[in-house]
Amino acid sequence: MSEGEQEKSIDADEEVEQQVIERMGHISSELAHDLRSPLQTIQNAIYLLQRNPDNEQLYDMVRQSLAQATEILDGFRDYYKAHNLQLIDVDPAKIVDLAFSELEIPENIKVDRALDSAQPLSLDPSKLAMAIRKLLLNAIQAMPEGGELVVKIIDTPGAVKITVKDTGVGITPQVADIIYTPFMAGQKKGRGLGLPAAKRVVESHGGELSYESEVGLGTVFTITLPRSAVNL
């Protein structure tokens, strides 16, 4: 490598490092901002409990705020550690089942699973199930008045595709440009890392997360997992 090429390489590395620093600075700032609200609520409730320890409503406030803070931190952990994989050969349908296992489906949402049999892939079941669960949660939140949630597995010679389709509000052009940017999609309380974390998990498996959406008609997210080496 020539001296000029080495300088360009160093400049490129420094630019990437600076982008990472700026990205993490933004995430840390938003994380601190989101945590401030539940922690302040807990502090206020404890202050009031010292004067009225029999007030059950204050205990409920503490429990709810702790749950909110935990959700925010869990979202950050999922995003930050998305690339740390523990791979085993597993049927993708089992991972979809795992994603549904801890999910509460509202009664006004109909669920349709079309899970074709697929050859096992080398995957991290926990991480990929988490990513799919975030897509399912996103779909549920997009259908506050109810609708249909369809999950499919399509096995092809070169890849396995997992699709999550909803009949919800769709993704507006304003949100489309920032949907994978941490804390920028307009859903706070720890959910601002949901889709970015799902994307990082899928890409860490050497795959791709894409979507198609129409405002007012719904959205389809597609996870494409190639039958190739995982990108570590």
Average pLDDT rounded to a whole number, residues 179-206: 73
- What the block records as the tokens of 200 is 């990082």
Task: Give the model confidence (pLDDT) of 95-148 as tens digits.
Answer: 999 999 988 999 999 999 988 777 889 999 999 999 999 999 999 999 999 999
Alpha helices in 50-146 (DSSP H): 56-80, 92-101, 125-141
The answer, yes or no, to whether residue 176 has pLDDT greater than 60, is yes
Contact criterion met (CB below 8 Å) for 170 and 217: yes
Partners of 154 in beta bridges: 161
Cβ neighbours for 88, distance < 8 A, ≥ 6 positions apart? 122, 123, 124, 125
Closest CA to 149 of 179, 184, 187, 106: 106
pTM for the complete prediction? 0.70
Task: Give the model confidence (pLDDT) of 56-110 as tens digits.
Answer: 999 999 998 888 887 777 777 777 776 778 899 999 999 999 999 988 999 999 9
Domains of the chain: 3-80 (1.10.287), 88-226 (3.30.565.10)
Cβ neighbours for 100, distance < 8 A, ≥ 6 positions apart? 133, 136
Partners of 166 in beta bridges: 149, 219
